[in-house]
Structure 1
């Protein structure tokens, strides 16, 4: 499958400001960038740096006044799709070192507080079957409601409120999967089927020795996702981080089948 992506950002910076962007699809074996172009307004500084786990790039900018970004790409998805429900949990002592951080609690995902819940709610279900059960449990019980969460909302907050947006759903799933002793991280993606179209956040779980993308909102499938970056939670995969005041003028994301 091929995805055509068009992203536009328009922000106003009141003073010279450092800005960190992460919005380009990652160049990784599971997806081939057939074409890509990013156009930026004038910047005093531009530099590429590796993103989390060396998946994708971040862009350091130093800019003032109006900051505009126009990103266009065509991505061929070559991901090997596997039924996660058939995969086994890797015992913690056999996990690769780079996955260990994704077993632990993080800023938005307090996994330590959910051990008793997952053992009671999902007793008797293990490995990939538990991961699928967690995804389905969230999709069936949580409402997708824009505007009810903030940048400070954690998985615990969303668990109580039972509503939120994609990042909130992903935080809850990541938290419950980690509490089950399975590494889980957040992936920012471009995805078909997301309404309203925007940067999308999903969970990525480590089963059978590989990472697998799962969307607890139920809107997107792994075959129609182009990965931008990964991290412990939303703090690691923000599409724009401003080290100063940035005012949004306009923003749009369009993902279609090429």
Structure 2
């Protein structure tokens, strides 16, 4: 499937600031970036650096004027799709080294806290069947509610409040998967069908020797998702991280079928 992406960001700054951007669709085998263009403000410094796990690029900017960014792209998604419920888990001692970090607790996904819960709530399931059960439990238990969480909300907070946005659904999915000894990571994406349209977040789980997308919100299908970057949680894959004060003026994301 081909999707078209149009993203605009506008921020004001009180003075010079360092900014790390990650908003471009990653150039990886599962998706082909057919066209891409990014407009950036004049900067005192510009550099591209690899994203987490080598997926996508981050852009360092040192700027002293308003941050106005426009990114446009057409992406053809060629991702192999599998029904996760039928996939086997890899025993921990057989996991590839690059997946091990994604078994561990992280800032927003304190997986250790949920070990007793997953063994009780999802008893009798394992591997992909466990992941499918967790996905369905989150979908039925949580209420999608814009504005119900903030940048400090963790998977534990979401578990108790039963509400959140896509990032919160992804964090809880990741935490429960890791508590079940399945490597899981956060993916920042553009998703067709996401409402309201914005940057989207899904989980990826490592099953049967490969990474598979899981969107507990149910809004986007893997065949219509363009991946931007990945990380242990949202802190590793934020579309914008500022090292200094910035103030949002406008943000718009449009994803449509090309």
User: Aligning the two structures, in what range does the TM-score lie when normalised by the shorter sequence?
Assistant: over 0.9
Whole-Å separation in 2 of the counterparts to 1:106 and 1:24 = 25
Indicate the RMSD between aligned Cα atoms, in angstroms: 0.5
Q: Shift of residue 150 of structure 1?
A: 1.1
For residue 14 of structure 1, give the secondary structure of its aligned residue in structure 2: coil
The answer for the alignment partner of 1:110 in structure 2 is: 110
Whole-Å separation in 1 of the counterparts to 2:2 and 2:75 = 5
The answer for the alignment partner of 1:165 in structure 2 is: 165
Whole-Å separation in 2 of the counterparts to 1:81 and 1:215 = 13
| 2:218 equivalent to 1:218 | yes
For residue 160 of structure 1, give the secondary structure of its aligned residue in structure 2: helix
The answer for the alignment partner of 2:66 in structure 1 is: 66
The list of structure 1 runs, each at least 4 consecutive aligned residues, that deviate by more than 2 angstroms after superposition, is none
Whole-Å separation in 1 of the counterparts to 2:50 and 2:180 = 30
Where does structure 1 lack aligned partners over 5 or more consecutive residues?
Answer: none
Q: Shift of residue 44 of structure 1?
A: 1.2
| 2:203 equivalent to 1:209 | no
User: Which stretch of the first structure deviates more once superposed, 78-87 or 178-187?
Assistant: 78-87
Whole-Å separation in 2 of the counterparts to 1:67 and 1:42 = 9
The answer for the alignment partner of 1:245 in structure 2 is: 245
Whole-Å separation in 2 of the counterparts to 1:230 and 1:127 = 21
Whole-Å separation in 1 of the counterparts to 2:173 and 2:241 = 24
Q: How does the TM-score come out when normalised to structure 2? A: 0.99
Q: Shift of residue 168 of structure 1?
A: 0.5
Whole-Å separation in 1 of the counterparts to 2:157 and 2:219 = 22
1:181-222 deviations in whole A, cap 9, x for unaligned? Answer: 000000000001100000001000000000000101111111
Whole-Å separation in 1 of the counterparts to 2:42 and 2:65 = 10
The answer for the alignment partner of 1:142 in structure 2 is: 142
Q: Shift of residue 83 of structure 1?
A: 1.0
The answer for the alignment partner of 1:95 in structure 2 is: 95
Whole-Å separation in 1 of the counterparts to 2:31 and 2:218 = 22
The answer for the alignment partner of 1:195 in structure 2 is: 195
For residue 124 of structure 1, give the secondary structure of its aligned residue in structure 2: coil
Q: Shift of residue 65 of structure 1?
A: 2.4
Q: Shift of residue 64 of structure 1?
A: 1.3
The answer for the alignment partner of 2:56 in structure 1 is: 56
Q: How does the TM-score come out when normalised to structure 1? A: 0.99
For residue 119 of structure 2, give the secondary structure of its aligned residue in structure 1: helix
The answer for the alignment partner of 2:236 in structure 1 is: 236
The answer for the alignment partner of 1:46 in structure 2 is: 46
Equivalent residue pairs, number: 258
Whole-Å separation in 1 of the counterparts to 2:67 and 2:124 = 53
Q: Shift of residue 36 of structure 1?
A: 0.3
For residue 66 of structure 2, give the secondary structure of its aligned residue in structure 1: strand
Whole-Å separation in 1 of the counterparts to 2:166 and 2:252 = 17
